[in-house]
Amino acid sequence: HIVAGPSAGLILADLGAEVIKVEHPATGDAARSMPNQGSTFYYLNRNKASLGLDLKHPEGRAIFERLVAASDVVVENFAPGALERLGLDYRWAQTVNPRIIYCSIRGFLPGPYANRPFLDELAQMAGGLAFMTGPPGQPLRAGASIVDIGAATYGVVAVLAALWERERTGRGQAVQAGLFETVAFWVGQHVARYQLAGIRPEPVPARGVGGMMGWGVYRLFDTRDGRRIFVAVTSNRHWRGLCNAFGWTDWLQDPALSSNRRRVAQRSRIEARLEPAMAALSFEEASRRLAEAGVPYAPVNSPADLLDDPQLKTPGRLLPVPGPDGRPVSVPALPIAWSNRRFSVRAAPPRLGQDSKTILLQLGFSSSQIERWKATGVIGEGPWLLEDEAPGQQGKKGESRDE
């Protein structure tokens, strides 16, 4: 409702699919009533239409049935069991449309935890990512909703594979993506290392980034003007470039530094020379020198800095999406490059239910039916951003809003 489901829809929409958001006609997606000018909703819902539809109403379910019959894919991110209780789960959808691909994004894949409610930050904790990220004893979540977006991406991968398989079999299927399993997949290198080398995983700050990754040079350095730069030497070619950049020809001939394994053993010696050398340069000087030498490096940017990044200013990397007041806002495109086209903004993030009438007419319903459903609240429209839940729409005590 907030990040995972909308992320999957955004990826499909930007790839060219016709995506219809089905939202409650009074409350809409939860992100519509979140603070920060609805920026989360804004970012994740371009190129989509919005159908304001009450799925708990019998006529609303009948409308949804016709929509499923005409569609290729259903993506849902409800709490476990919510759609089963409404009678709108995959088994129902399969009877309506045997070709339907039904993608569910869940906290967990089938297993002992399948019915537990779950969230991005909880998945980072339970899956070991927060343990690896924070200092010892201080597990720390990543600074973005990476698990929601990651699970959504894997869900889309499964959808695309299922669509391809449908071309061969003629039948759809159910696919699932799990937040917990997404994190487990990401920390898999540490899981394997523990079993193969017998080394228990330690948080990254405890060992230093370079120590965790196993490179002789792999860390942040301070520059003369107070900025910081990350330098990564992960090959002998990088090492030669670094030495040439600073004129350290003696190190090029030193057998003790001739391989990465040997450089790891000499890390303190390398850093004792590299730290003051970097501190004597401005950030721009250090960047230019490393770039010319072919050494991987990076600045420490905030998200705000990305708007001025030369790489993202390449046409097609930032998309101008119309804002609520009509002025365009630049947002990152999908991290994919095409040989024959660029991503585009076909539609601004929709107002709640703004496309309901158009969609229902396309499904074959009459204008008189649509007006009656508007009057009875089966369908509805609303503003782009909601102040809060509509009166009477709050869930019962203890009930997830997702339901």
Say what the pLDDT of residue 324 is: 82
**What pLDDT is recorded for position 325?**
83
For residue range 146-176, list pLDDT tens digits in order. 999 999 999 999 999 999 999 999 999 999 9
**pLDDT of res. 326:** 83
Determine the Cα–Cα distance for residues 220 and 227; give it in Å rounded to an integer.
10
Mapping DSSP to helix (H, G, I), strand (E, B) and coil, where does residue 332 land? strand
CA distances from 23 to 120, 237, 378 (A): 22, 54, 11
Report pLDDT for 208: 61
Dihedral of the alpha carbons of 78, 157, 21, 328, in degrees to the nearest 10:
120
For residue 402, the model assigns a pLDDT of: 39
Distance separating alpha carbons of residues 351 and 266, to the nearest angstrom: 60
Closest to 16 measured CA to CA, from 351, 363, 365, 341: 341
CA nearest neighbour of 44 among 19, 69, 25, 24: 19
Report the amino acid identity of residue 119. L
Given a cut of 50, the residues of the chain with pLDDT beneath it are 211, 390-403
CA dist., res. 374 & res. 324, Å (int): 24
CA 178 – CA 156 distance, rounded (Å): 12
User: Helix 179-186 crosses helix 188-197 at what angle (to 10 degrees)?
Assistant: 50
Distance CA 78, CA 403 (A): 7
Contact 143, 76 (CB under 8 A): no
Do residues 201 and 194 make contact, with C-beta atoms less than 8 angstroms apart? yes
| pLDDT on residue 388 | 62
Q: What pLDDT was estimated at residue 390?
A: 46
Give buried/exposed letters for 28-62 (b at 16+ CB in 10 A, else e).
bbbbbbeeeebebbbbbbbbbbbbbbbbebeebbe
Q: Which two tokens stand for residue 266?
A: 């000499």
Measure Cα distances from 241 to 81, 268, 270, 295, 357 in Å: 57, 19, 14, 6, 62
Report DSSP state, residue 379.
Answer: B
